[in-house]
Every structure is written in structure tokens, then in C-alpha cells.
Structure 1
């Protein structure tokens, strides 16, 4: 073998070594990516609990009877009636109902003192760029009973449902003394300013539920119950 042939032969292994190295690197990258995908697939989903007791409103489950409820969920036969509608306090689907929409029974049949306080608060809130939406207000006993039945089906028992929905006999919605306010920024505004109008959040697990407490103008809102099961009115 002459010197030229020897020199040419000595240069051949380099490309082969480079190709082998690239192949090994490719296998390592593929293995790393596969491991990441397997870890991601096996990671548990993160869930949040609706039972937070914080006094500051946080995004919460949709209130029973909220306007975002579909027609098929609320316009179902109830005891003694063929259907539920606006005359029962159902808020029209997809409607942005205001506290000034008195022609809608869910608003117009609220207790006069509560409605007057809500309208004063809503007027001042609009100056801050906040607009109140009534997700649920006054309800007929039939509507309340339907919501309770749905809650029992969803949560599995009467006891569990009682944390979210009262009976027709004890509900402040049926008497016109409660309103569910949305969206979140409106409920947050009321959490900070509502006492000046006598409007108070009553249950820590329901950041949307407000009732009139006239003494709050002077003394501040009373301590919230963790949920309706702690409210003595629910034990009547």
C-alpha cells in the first residue's frame, strides 16, 4: 500500500464514527421525549373544591338557577306544573338581566328593600366600570323544589345538597330576600362595598349570594356561615 492509499484509508472511519454518534444522539433524544410524554400522561388532574371558606370571593360553582343554565335543565316538568318559566323566576337563557329589569319576575318580585339597595349599589358600581348581572333572584316554590331535586341527584344525598340549595319552605329566594349576583368582578365589588348599602354575603361557599342586612350600614356585615347548613333559618 503506497502512502496515498494509506492516507485515504485512514480518513474513511471518521464519517462512519460521526454517523454512529448522530444515531446514538437521536435515540437518546427520542427516549427523553417519550419519557416526558409518559410522565405527563400519568400525572393526576388538578381539581378544586367548591367548599372554600375564604371571605374574599373566588371563582365559584355556577349558582343554582343561574342564567347560564340551559333550557333543558330548568324548563322541565315540576310537581303540579307542565313546565317552569319566567313566571317562576327562571332568568331567560343567555340574558344579561340587570337589577333595573323589573319587568322580569326574578327581579321585580324581590323584596322592595333589597331591590332598592341593589339598584343604589349597581349605580355606584357602574361608575367603577362594574355592571351587576342577576343570575337568580326571586323563585317560585316549584322552581326551588326542582333545583333541590337536581342538587340531590348531583351531590348524591339530601344532606350534601343542603350545602347549596335550600328547601322551598326555608329559601330566601322564595321569599324574595336573596339574589345571586354575577359576574365575578361584580360579586367582588359587593364583597368590598356591599355593607355600605346593607348588602351582605351570607355564606362563605356562595360568593354570589347576597341578602339585605340593614344594620350592616352601621355595624358591618355579620360573620358568614360556612354554608347554608349552619344557618339556623334552614332548620325550621
Structure 2
């Protein structure tokens, strides 16, 4: 199966000069296959956020290589990284980060507008189809304040899928939801993974949710644990 993301020997250090140097990631080797549904698990301070930022091309590694959809990105310019991020990646966070002045449909279309500067009839059709698929057909023209927490997170998920990304990075996507809504949203992620063929990397503290993924990756103190050792 084709790889969507590969990290080789990735290290990340902060500080220098008057500040002490702290290494947060210590030689990470990791590959994600197209269409995989993977959990990333680790305690606070283990380096999950830094690793996710490097995967999402939001930070560059101090050492090592990063490949996205077969393209080397560790030394790419800021403009190239932005273009690759918009083309290949989607993001879902614990908090939905929807724009309050815009409707659900308009929020979903934001990645298209950011990437191409214009929205076509086909784009609107895809946005509406995805909203309908996630049970939001009757809420497309509502603003975020008019939606429940679960509905807001569904809009955020649809927004992440709008550009047909190869990989969605989801940072605690159910962490701000009650138990039942969290289960429903997680189930929706799983269904969309299968239907769209998009790979998902889910950061979660919930071992039950992690067990429902294809694979679990454990990060401790900036190092990946061998499979099955957690």
C-alpha cells in the first residue's frame, strides 16, 4: 500500500544561545499508509503536539527527513509547505475553530477559498453532500452559535475533508464532547475514513477509542515505543 507520510530520523530541539537546548523528539521513524486509521497515544509532555506539528508541516524538524505523498518536505520553503499542506492535509482539533460570522457551509468552503481563491458550483455541491452525509443538511446555513457542540465538530470534520486530503490529522477531536457524542463523532470519522479513502491520525487519551483504530502508536518522552509494548 502506498505511503502518505514518512518520517525518518526526525529530531526536534528548542533553545540555544542564552537558553538551554531541549530535545523534544529523539529520532522518530514513522510511516503512515494511504487509507490507514491510526491512533497516536501518549501522556502530556511526551512530544505529541510537536510531532503533530511536524507532520502537519507547521514546524520543521531540527534533523531528519519528512516525506508527504512521496514528496520531500523537510527542506521546502514556507510557500511550498503552505501549498502542500492545503493540497494533501486536513486538520481537526479538540475545539472546532469555526469562524463565527459564517454559516456551516461557508466554513466548510474556507479551505477551497484559501487554496484557489474562488469557489465553484462543484465545490458547493461537494460541501452540501458532505454536510448531508454527516447529518447536517438542514443546518448548512446556520452559524456555529446555532449548532450544538457535536454539530460544530461535524462541520469541522467536513471542512477538513473538503479538499480531498490524503491525510487528516485529528488532535483530540472528541476531547471536548460528552461520552455519547464523542462515540458518535469517532464513529463518523471511521466511516468517512472508509468511504473517502483518507488516512487519519487521531491523537487521543482514550484507550477505548485507540483500540478501535487500525494501529496504535505510543509516544513516550519523545520516543516511539515498540509495537505492543505499551
Larger RCO: Structure 1 or Structure 2 (Cα < 8 Å, ≥ 6 residues apart)? 2
Give the structure with the larger strand fraction: 2
Tell me, yes or no, whether TM beats 0.5: no
Give the structure with the larger helix fraction: 1
